[in-house]
Structure 1
Amino acid sequence: MKEITITKREEGQRFDRFLGKYLPGASSGFLHKMLRKKNIKLNGKKAEGREKLSAGDVIQIFFSDETFEKFQKPQEGGKQDAFTDGKSMVQRTPGKQIERTKQKKRLTKEEMNLREQVKVLYSSEDILVFHKPAGMLSQRAKADDDSLNDYLIDYCIKNGIISREELAAFRPSVANRLDRNTSGIVLAGISIRGLQTLSTMLRERTLGKYYLCLVEGRVKEDARIPGYLTKEERNNKVALHKEKVEGASYIETEYTVLKSTERASLLKIRLITGKSHQIRGHLASTGHPVFGDYKYGNREFNNQIKWKEGINYQLLHSYELIVPEGAGELSGLHIIDPVPEAFHQVQKNWNLEFSGLSYTKTSHQTASRLDKRKNDREGRK
């Protein structure tokens, strides 16, 4: 018999989903059969599986050691079950995930360099907020990839947030994704409650998310632009439409012109909806593609950026996160992730520096509360 005590980090999830993660080799039907037969109990009593777990709950599993070991191995051909909102992602019952498919490999020099650039911008009992450098995946695309999600797991183990044994029941996870070559703020849940909180806020668009980007050409005035977006799976691109078409999602992007010259502009973007490639595709559709964006931009112009600045990726940075007052436990949270050095250097070379932004080479501004925002800005000057 195996006895498991639910920790605070694991509470809040349904009993059957916990079992599905703890015993990934067992089918849902088998687990419910074991519940009916009382081979699996909750707090010494028969359970249905729909119960919400609380810290201190005790699960008893009446399997032989051999059976228990068998079902702790993932099923072949299993799929990751997740729910998404735009680019947000929270794991539910991971079955056989990409994150688990291979024994951990040795990191390459490039991967180690990227990990050294990751910074913690904010931490609490349930949530971590990271700076993700350009070039790092938010989550694995292939089994042998390294990603911020892998870094998160290692960080949690190293800092005693979770043990390797506890990963069988709960895995910390990033809650929103940035494109590989987009830098900036990424949210992560290190408890079930944290993941649920972030998922709700992302889905309900409670968070104020602001990006910085350099774009080709002079943008004359601030704007809020609506549109419709369709995904072209074949080439991993999006198409923008002014009118609704079949399969299109409504999008809305707002931008403020911080500085503009005849050749280029610095924009601060407020992401109202959060669809894949939304900012890059939307700005390109207006005739102002992001610097370095070969997928949506002008190749000849981007080649000039590459040759002159040494930049071969889009200059798009997730700069600021604001949680409004009255929005639960994160109420008033304000995070700034200063402009990366490479981005800043291109700004200077193109006469697009802006004094109201936070710039830093080696350190990152951590979280503050909105009522301290003015003092924080004065302190950065």
Structure 2
Amino acid sequence: MRTLEIKKNDSNQRLDKFMQKHFKTMPKSMMYMYIRKKCVKLNGKKVSGDEMLKEGDVLTFYIKDEFFEGAEEKHYEFLKAPKKLNIVYEDENILLLDKKPGVIVHPDKSYHFDSLISRVLHYLYDKGEYDPEQEQAFCPALVNRIDRNTGGIVIAAKNAESLRILNQKMKTRELEKFYLCLLHGKPKKDSDTLTGYITKNESKNKVTVHPKPVEGGKEIKTKYKILEFDGRYSLAEVELLTGRTHQIRAHMAYIGHPLVGDTKYGKNKKAPDSFKYQALYSYKLRFNFTTDAGILDYLNGKEFEVKDVPFVK
């Protein structure tokens, strides 16, 4: 028999979801078998699995020790990652990070030990703000993603309540993201809101823009404004009114002005040698809450900006 007390970061979630996160090696079918056989108790009472956990609740488990041993593993892979971060803003709830091009946000098939989330965990661990031994299910997490070869602001949530709030704000588009990009040539209009539809080829990880609705297509809206033009390249600010894979890169290429350095959508447009990655940066973030933000309400109306964008002089 083992007992666990629910802490703040583990509260406000279903019991079965908590168990899936905590007992990482336990098959889901076995988890529900333990629940059915009354091997799991919540405050001494039998459970069905859909109970919402509250801070201070006590769970009692009559299950194999091997699952606890897996959950209490003390070898932390994230400690192999560098803890170097470019921090735009930090408080007790969130981190705003300036991710540099070339860094992956989450581990992928080419992952060896370094990713942005691993760096965040290493950083918070060294600060004493994250201890896996004290957290039974929660782990600090990234709220948004940016492609490996794109730079810009990524939000990290330090606690479960902030993560829940920010995930909801992302869905309701109460976080406004602005990008800077360098375009080949200059569009006919200095500012415009482009519309269209986008489909994705999963095997090639490439999207196609269509002027009219197509099967499997998703609507896209891309708002841009030309800031500068040097006779060859345009510096543009872009606001994503919809957030689709490669939307800015594909949409600007579709109108005949691909991003400098973009080998996937730039066709035969050659970039200067100094451009190792496409010239695209998520440089500004604005919190524009229109619904209750709970413990993050103090962020409403605040705007954060990256000053050092590689392709802006």
TM-score, structure 1 as length reference: 0.74
CA distance in 2, matches of 1:235, 1:64: 44
Q: CA deviation at 1:184?
A: 0.8
Name 2:32's counterpart in structure 1. Answer: 32
CA contact (8 A) 2:185 2:231 kept: yes
Separation in structure 1 between the aligned mates of residue 253 and residue 66 of structure 2, nearest angstrom: 58
Change beyond 3 A, Cα 1:285–1:145: farther
Structure 2: which 5+ runs fail to align? none
- 219, 235, 247: which one aligns with 1:266: 235
Shifted more, 15-24 versus 316-325: the winner is 316-325
- Opposite residue 317 of structure 1, the aligned amino acid is Y
Q: Offset at 1:145? A: 4.8
Contact 1:224-1:253 at 8 Å conserved across structures: yes
Q: 1:103 to 1:246 in 2, by over 3 A?
A: same
Q: Which runs of 5+ in 1 are unaligned?
A: 75-101, 349-381
CA–CA distance in structure 2, aligned partners of residues 67 and 180 of structure 1: 35
CA distance in 2, matches of 1:248, 1:60: 48
| Paired residues for 1:17-28 under 5 Å | 17-28=17-28
**Residue 311 of structure 1: how far off its partner (Å):** 1.8
CA contact (8 A) 1:228 1:249 kept: yes
SS in 2 for 1:149: helix
> How many residues align structurally?
306
315-324 or 164-173: which moved more? 164-173
Cα gap change, 1:290/1:145 in structure 2, threshold over 3 Å: closer, same or farther?
farther
Residue number in structure 2 paired with 1:9: 9
Which residue pairs with 1:128 in the alignment?
95
Q: Secondary structure at the match of 1:9?
A: helix
246-255 or 57-66: which moved more? 57-66
Partner of 1:190: 158
| Matched AA of 1:290 | L
- Equivalent residue runs for 1:72-221 within 5 Å: 72=71, 112=82, 116=84, 118-142=85-109, 143-166=111-134, 169-219=137-187, 220-221=189-190
Q: Which SS does the other structure have where 2:261 is aligned?
A: coil
Aligned partner of residue 18 in structure 2, secondary structure: helix
1:172/1:191 contact within 8 Å kept = yes
Where 1:130 maps in the other structure, the secondary structure is strand
In the TM superposition, residue 166 of structure 1 has moved relative to its aligned partner by 4.1
Are the aligned partners of 1:2 and 1:60 in contact in 2 as well (CA < 8 Å)? yes
CA distance in 1, matches of 2:307, 2:42: 48
Q: Which one has more relative contact order, counting CA pairs under 8 Å at least 6 apart?
A: 2
User: Does the C-alpha gap of structure 1 residues 19 and 255 become closer, same or farther in structure 2, counting only changes over 3 Å?
Assistant: same
- Return the match for 1:275 from 238, 244, 247: 244
The alpha-carbon distance between structure 1 residues 27 and 209, as it changes in their structure 2 partners (threshold 3 A), is same
Tell me the residue number matched to 1:50: 50
Q: Distance in 1 between matches of 2:180 and 2:204?
A: 26
Q: For residue 273 of structure 1, give the secondary structure of its aligned residue in structure 2.
A: coil
The alpha-carbon deviation at position 48 of structure 1 amounts to 1.7
| Structure number with higher helix proportion | 1
Partner of 1:315 in structure 2? 279
Deviation per CA, 1:242-271: give whole Å up to 9, x if none: 011111111100011111232111111111
Letter in 1 for 2:89: Y
**Two-structure CA RMSD over aligned residues (Å):** 2.5
- Residues 299-337 of structure 1: CA deviation (Å, up to 9, x unaligned): 4521xx11xxx2211111111111125442242232112
Match of 1:81 in 2: none
SS in 2 for 1:210: strand
Amino acid at match of 2:107: R
For structure 1, which segment, 221-230 or 329-338, has the greater mean C-alpha deviation from structure 2 after superposition? 329-338
Aligned partners of 1:10 and 1:191 also within 8 Å: no
- Percent of matched pairs sharing the same residue: 36
Opposite residue 322 of structure 1, the aligned amino acid is R
2:308 alignment partner in structure 1: 339
Q: Distance in 1 between matches of 2:287 and 2:153?
A: 14
CA gap 1:51/1:158 in 2 versus in 1, 3 angstroms: same
Task: Tell me the SS of whatever aligns to 1:63.
Answer: coil
CA distance 1:234–1:38, change in 2 (3 Å): closer
Residue 339 of structure 1 deviates from its aligned partner by 3.1
Higher mean alpha-carbon deviation, 146-155 vs 265-274, is at 146-155
